[in-house]
């Protein structure tokens, strides 16, 4: 009898020892995001709103406070709960027959050996599921990081545009006064002078609209960092690109994406979990119990006997579950192939956008803008020499302001293109900084 008890106890111990005790929580996701950022996500102590909020600080704050991201982060806890359930050993089943008349007292103890023996496999599948959920949440974190970077780039654009709109409004007021004098001397018609006055008034409208655009851009960042309800004043510190990044080729970027994209890793973990379940499906359908039966014969010694209770695989061998699991593995294989194709397309498109944005920005800054500025300087010199009136000078200055606005828009497109490229490869771009030409 002791030998049988020892056997059951040893079986349980072996099943217990084959199971790891890994834990999955929000730290799992945050640690992987830290590797992507090369900075600590948890470190909020050095983030002070009093001295302003930089883009990097806003990213870390968003990962800690963004309500939508914190809501989906609970999924890792749900998967951890499934893992805990998979690790749990089943309770033995107790059955008894009470003595009545000649009926002897009898009880039986049923131990589900199938659950105990297959517990390591189920636990492994649940752990891989946790890995898969964790990588999916890392993907959500990268989405949030891209949104913060885009929001800061848009804020930088509308702030620069506000200053340029003020300069243009001043020029239009001067042009309107100049046209009013020309109308009084009979050089232009009244309708032309009125149109110039309307343009001056419209410039004021653009200033008011852009001021509202600045507030909207700041509110977008507040929402991303979780300060939508908190009205604490925040000064958002934006920065501009000082160097044009040297982007590697498409092959290098695709290799980086294969390593860094969390959604691809999530698909690999899902495929691994399905592989474990495919092995598990060979026996998971079969039920077999260990039985310990005890009979009390009243005036005689009781009887104790072990036994087994199991299904006879005659009519059902679990073919349906095996076929379903195998089909799921095939589906995941095709999904992973589709995802790799999608990643390749996303990397290629992001690279094309970066190359085009770099080309546009560099050409405008080094070629077009200097020529427009040169034309404005020549107009100023010709006016000083008495060759032209002051109106062409004002018009050339307005063209310079418009050219500066175009340059800021091209810079905004470049910053967003960089953010999209980082997102497409699932991490920072493997590049070396290079000076502008």
Do 58 and 239 form a contact (C-beta atoms < 8 A)? no
Contact yes or no for 63/128 (Cβ under 8 A): no
**pLDDT at residue 437 tops 50:** no
What's the average model confidence in pLDDT over 125-151?
Answer: 94
Instruction: Look at 409 and 203; give whichever has higher pLDDT.
Output: 409
Q: What is the mean pLDDT of residues 269-291?
A: 87
Quote the Cα angle for 262-265-266, to 5°: 85
Q: What 8-state DSSP symbol labels residue 90?
A: P
Residue 410 lies in a domain: yes
Domain assignment of residue 340, yes or no:
yes
At which residue do the structure tokens 């590697």 appear?
248
For tokens 């009470």, the residue is: 98
Q: What is the CATH number of the domain that holds 270?
A: 1.20.1600.10
Comparing CA positions, the residue from 214, 336, 174 lying closest to residue 264 is: 336
Predicted local distance difference test score (pLDDT) of residue 424: 95
336: in domain: yes
Q: What is the pLDDT of residue 140?
A: 94
Percent of the chain exceeding pLDDT 70 equals 89
Q: What is the pLDDT of residue 297?
A: 64
Kindly tell me if the per-residue pLDDT of 3 is higher than 50: no
Distance CA 325, CA 341 (A): 24
188, 244 Cβ separation under 8 angstroms: no
More reliable by pLDDT, 325 or 302: 325
Tell me whether residue 260 is in a domain: yes
Q: What pLDDT is recorded for position 107?
A: 82
| 3-state SS, residue 175 | helix
Are 376 and 153 in contact by the 8 Å Cβ rule? The answer is no
pLDDT in tens, 15-40: 454 556 677 888 888 888 888 887 66
Structural domains counted in the chain: 1
CB atoms within 10 A of CB 319: 10
Q: Would you place residue 435 in the very low, low, confident or very high pLDDT band (cuts 50, 70, 90)?
A: very low
Mean pLDDT of the chain: 85
Give the model's pLDDT for residue 102.
Answer: 67
Residue 118 lies inside a defined structural domain of this protein: no
- For residues 184-208, give the mean pLDDT: 81
Sort 170 into a burial class: Cβ within 10 Å, 0-12 / 13-18 / 19+.
middle
Q: Determine the Cα–Cα distance for residues 176 and 194; give it in Å rounded to an integer.
A: 8
Coil/strand/helix, residue 173: helix
Task: Find out whether 245 and 421 touch, Cβ atoms under 8 Å.
Answer: no
Q: Percentage of the chain with pLDDT > 90? A: 43
Q: What is the DSSP string of 261-273?
A: -HHHHHHHHHHHH
Residues spanned by the domain of 264 = 240-281+318-437
- pTM tops 0.95, yes or no: no
- Banded model confidence at residue 393, pLDDT cuts 50, 70, 90: confident
pLDDT in tens, 315-351: 888 888 889 989 999 999 999 999 999 999 999 999 9
- Of residues 72 and 242, more confidently modeled: 72
Average pLDDT over residues 102-125: 85
Instruction: With respect to residue 115, please indicate whether it lies within any of the assigned structural domains.
Output: no
Distance CA 152, CA 218 (A): 8
């Amino acid at each position: 009898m002791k030998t049988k008890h020892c056997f059951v106890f040893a079986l349980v111990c072996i099943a217990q020892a084959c199971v790891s005790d890994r834990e999955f929580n929000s730290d799992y996701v945050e640690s992987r995001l830290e590797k992507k950022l090369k900075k600590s996500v948890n470190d909020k102590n050095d983030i002070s709103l009093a001295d302003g909020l930089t883009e990097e600080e806003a990213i870390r704050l968003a990962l800690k406070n963004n309500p939508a991201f914190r809501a989906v982060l609970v999924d890792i806890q749900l998967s951890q709960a499934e893992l805990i359930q998979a690790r749990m050993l089943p309770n033995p089943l107790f059955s008894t027959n009470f003595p009545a008349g000649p009926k002897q007292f009898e009880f039986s103890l049923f131990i589900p050996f199938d659950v105990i023996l297959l517990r390591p496999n189920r636990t492994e599948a649940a752990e891989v599921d946790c890995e898969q959920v964790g990588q999916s949440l890392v993907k959500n974190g990268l989405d949030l990081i891209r949104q913060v970077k885009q929001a800061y780039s848009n804020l930088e654009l509308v702030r620069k545009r506000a200053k340029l709109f003020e300069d243009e409004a001043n020029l239009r007021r001067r042009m309107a006064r100049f046209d009013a004098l020309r109308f009084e001397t009979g050089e232009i018609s009244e309708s032309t002078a009125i149109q110039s006055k309307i343009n001056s008034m419209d410039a004021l409208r653009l200033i008011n609209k852009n001021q509202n655009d600045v507030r909207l851009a700041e509110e977008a960042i507040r929402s991303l960092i979780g300060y939508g309800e908190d009205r604490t004043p925040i000064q958002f510190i934006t920065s501009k690109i000082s160097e044009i990044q040297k982007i590697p080729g498409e092959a290098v970027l695709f290799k980086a994406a294969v390593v860094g994209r969390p959604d691809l890793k999530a698909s690999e973990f899902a495929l691994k979990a399905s592989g474990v379940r495919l092995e598990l499906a060979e026996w998971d359908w079969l039920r077999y119990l260990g039985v310990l039966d005890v009979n009390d014969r009243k005036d005689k010694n009781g009887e104790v006997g072990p036994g087994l209770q199991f299904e006879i695989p005659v009519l059902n061998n679990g073919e349906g579950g095996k076929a379903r699991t195998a089909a799921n593995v095939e589906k995941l294989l095709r999904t992973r192939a589709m995802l790799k194709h999608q990643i390749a397309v996303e990397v290629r498109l992001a690279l094309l956008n970066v190359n085009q944005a770099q080309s546009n920005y560099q050409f405008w800054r080094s070629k077009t803008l200097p020529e427009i500025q040169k034309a404005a300087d020549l107009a100023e010199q010709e006016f000083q020499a008495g060759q032209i009136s002051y109106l062409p000078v004002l018009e050339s200055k307005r063209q310079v302001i418009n050219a500066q606005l175009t340059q800021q828009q091209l810079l905004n497109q470049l910053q967003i293109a960089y953010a999209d490229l980082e997102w497409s490869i699932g991490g920072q771009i493997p590049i070396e900084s290079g000076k502008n030409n």
